[in-house]
């Protein structure tokens, strides 16, 4: 029997979902409710790529070799250290007659589910990838389940640009929802006071989109926090934040001071978009009582976040960005099209890669 969530593809251990499995069956033959994608490019999760890059001292050949080993061993791309993967783009090669995804042979699509649960086979040895960037040109196939999510690539955007945006499209969508809820709650309570938002890692992909989404959702004041001068200058030029602050997100007091100084008070909503560990306490400390912290980084230790909030006696709501909010792809692509600052940051990042 074929499961809509892919249980039939789990090789070991038995009884777990594909994301939690150690190994998946990535064979090309599809079940009636599956879709096979001819893969063109992977987009590795930022935390996963950073871990591999640091582990191998910037040796792209070794990074490439380990990615190949992971996929060959596990039947999917799931970094065993970070637990994260990424997503991909490709062309629909075959669609099962019972697939509910509405995809047709020949559609160019981006998967909106993680590579950590997507059966994947690479057939070209990643010969066109130097191991030095998150985007990985490749040949092979991947399998989508009945409960998977994919978006047909828009014709007006370069596929690499679409891939970069769709990789993080859950971040701006959830940010917009949380900010809009905060604004509405204050209006219902007769307190029209402004809602402030801090985005940690504001010059990155998810960070820049989240800043734009926060402003559109009604945030009255925003601060983007970045670690280096070059990112400060780029984010300032993009015009996506009211204030851009320099701080190391791993320094709780320094981060909190930077946010509070920029906004005049702790943030009502803090969005964590950095790909390094150790940012949990600073994010909590930078957030006002009754506020919300959204963690989008796969480098986050949720135990550290929970225990840190307890230890700081911080009355904050903490949310895990799970990458899916209804309409997230359309919202993110819309921000890219309509916000020159967002598009400029994305294009500069792709050019640098």
**Residue 128 clears pLDDT 70, i.e. is over it:** yes
Among 63-67, 110-114, 304-308, the least confident range: 304-308
SS3 per residue for the chain: CCCCCCHHHEEECCCCCCCCCCEECCCCCCCCCCEEEEEEEEEECHHHHHHHHHHCCCCHHHHHHHHHHHHHHHCCCCCCCCCCCEEEEEEEEEECCCCCCCCCCCCEEEECCCHHHCCEEECCCCCCCCCCCCEEEEEEEEEECCCCCEEECCCCCCHHHHHHHHCCCHHHHHHHHHHHHHHHHHHHCCCCCCCEEEEECCCCHHHHHHHHHHHHCCCCEEEEEECCHHHHHHHHHHCCCCEEEECCCCCHHHHHHHHHHHHCCCEEEEEECCCCCCCHHHHHHCEEEEEEEEECCCCCCHHHHHHHHHHCCCCCEEEECCCCCCCHHHHHHHHHHHCHHHHHHHHHHHHHC
**Residue 246 clears pLDDT 80, i.e. is over it:** yes
Specify if 1 maps to a domain.
Answer: no
Structural domain including 239 reads 169-351
Please tell me the predicted confidence (pLDDT) of residue 324. 83
Q: What is the mean pLDDT of residues 46-68?
A: 96
Number of domains observed in the structure of the chain: 2
Specify if 159 maps to a domain.
Answer: no
Please tell me the predicted confidence (pLDDT) of residue 2. 85
Task: Give me 141's structure tokens.
Answer: 């196939």
Task: Kindly report the pTM of this predicted structure.
Answer: 0.85
- Do 242 and 120 share a domain, yes or no? no
Among 117-126, 169-178, 190-199, the least confident range: 190-199
- Do 72 and 188 share a domain, yes or no? no
Q: How confident is the model at residue 298 (pLDDT cuts 50, 70, 90)?
A: confident
- Do 231 and 331 share a domain, yes or no? yes
Q: pLDDT tens-digit profile of 89-107?
A: 999 999 999 999 999 999 9
Q: What is the mean pLDDT of residues 295-324?
A: 85
| Residue pair 108/50 in contact by the 8 Å Cβ criterion | no
What percent of the chain has a predicted confidence (pLDDT) above 70?
100
Specify if 340 maps to a domain.
Answer: yes
- Do 122 and 221 share a domain, yes or no? no
**Residue 1 clears pLDDT 70, i.e. is over it:** no
CATH number assigned to the domain comprising residue 243: 3.40.50.720
- Do 134 and 191 share a domain, yes or no? no
**Residue 180 clears pLDDT 80, i.e. is over it:** yes
What percent of the chain has a predicted confidence (pLDDT) above 90?
84
- Do 15 and 124 share a domain, yes or no? yes
- Do 149 and 175 share a domain, yes or no? no
Query: What is the sign, positive or negative, of the torsion defined by CA atoms of 67, 71, 77, 79?
Result: negative
Please tell me the predicted confidence (pLDDT) of residue 306. 85
Nearest residue to 244 via CA among 191, 207, 288:
207
Please tell me the predicted confidence (pLDDT) of residue 124. 97
- Do 192 and 338 share a domain, yes or no? yes
Specify if 163 maps to a domain.
Answer: no
Query: β-strands 150-152, 108-111: how paired?
Result: antiparallel
- Do 80 and 113 share a domain, yes or no? yes
| Residue pair 119/21 in contact by the 8 Å Cβ criterion | no
Specify if 158 maps to a domain.
Answer: no
Specify if 319 maps to a domain.
Answer: yes
Q: What is the mean pLDDT of residues 238-258?
A: 96
- Do 197 and 336 share a domain, yes or no? yes
- Do 103 and 250 share a domain, yes or no? no
> Helix 340-352 and helix 159-166: axis angle, to 10°?
110
HSE, side-chain direction, 13 A CA sphere, residue 325:
19
- Do 313 and 234 share a domain, yes or no? yes
Q: How many angstroms from the chain centroid is the CA of residue 185?
A: 27
- Domain boundary, last residue among 153, 182, 205: 153
Nearest residue to 66 via CA among 75, 47, 53, 84:
53
Q: What is the mean pLDDT of residues 285-300?
A: 90
Specify if 189 maps to a domain.
Answer: yes
Q: What is the mean pLDDT of residues 163-188?
A: 93
Task: Give me 164's structure tokens.
Answer: 């970069």
Per the prediction, the chain carries an average pLDDT of 94
Please tell me the predicted confidence (pLDDT) of residue 311. 86
Task: Give me 15's structure tokens.
Answer: 């009884």
Please tell me the predicted confidence (pLDDT) of residue 132. 94
Which residues on adjacent β-strands are paired with residue 95? Answer: 35
Q: How confident is the model at residue 192 (pLDDT cuts 50, 70, 90)?
A: confident
Specify if 83 maps to a domain.
Answer: yes
| Residue pair 92/159 in contact by the 8 Å Cβ criterion | no
């Amino acid at each position: 029997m074929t499961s809509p969530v892919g249980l039939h593809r789990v090789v070991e251990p038995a009884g777990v979902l594909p994301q939690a499995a150690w190994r998946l069956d990535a064979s090309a033959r599809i079940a009636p409710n599956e879709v096979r994608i001819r893969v063109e490019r992977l987009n590795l999760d930022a935390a996963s790529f950073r871990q591999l890059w640091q582990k191998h001292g910037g040796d792209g050949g070794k990074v490439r070799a380990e990615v190949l080993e992971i996929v060959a061993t596990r039947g999917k791309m799931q970094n065993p250290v970070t637990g994260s993967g990424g997503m991909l783009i490709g062309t629909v090669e075959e669609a099962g007659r019972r697939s509910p995804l509405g995809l047709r042979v020949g559609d160019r699509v981006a998967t909106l589910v993680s590579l950590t649960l997507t059966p994947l086979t690479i057939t070209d040895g990643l010969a066109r990838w130097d191991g030095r960037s998150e985007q990985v040109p490749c040949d092979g196939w991947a399998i989508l389940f009945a409960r998977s999510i994919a978006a047909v690539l828009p014709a007006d955007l370069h596929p690499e640009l679409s891939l970069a945006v769709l990789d993080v499209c859950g971040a701006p969508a959830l940010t917009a929802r949380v900010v809009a809820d905060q604004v509405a709650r204050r209006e219902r309570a007769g307190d029209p006071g402004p809602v402030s938002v801090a985005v940690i890692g504001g010059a990155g992909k998810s960070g820049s989109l989240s800043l734009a989404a926060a402003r559109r959702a009604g945030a009255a004041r925003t601060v983007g926090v970045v670690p280096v001068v070059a990112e400060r200058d780029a984010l300032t030029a993009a015009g996506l934040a009211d204030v851009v602050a320099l701080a190391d997100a791993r320094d709780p007091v320094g981060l909190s001071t930077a946010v509070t100084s920029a906004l005049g008070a702790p943030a009502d909503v803090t969005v964590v978009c950095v790909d390094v560990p150790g940012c949990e306490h600073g994010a909590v400390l930078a957030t006002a009582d009754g506020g919300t912290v959204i963690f989008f980084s796969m480098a986050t230790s949720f135990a550290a976040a929970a225990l840190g909030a307890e230890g700081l006696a911080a009355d904050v709501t903490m949310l895990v960005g799970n990458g899916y909010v209804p309409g997230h792809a359309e919202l993110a692509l819309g921000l890219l099209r309509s916000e020159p600052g967002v598009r400029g940051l994305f294009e500069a990042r792709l050019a640098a890669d």
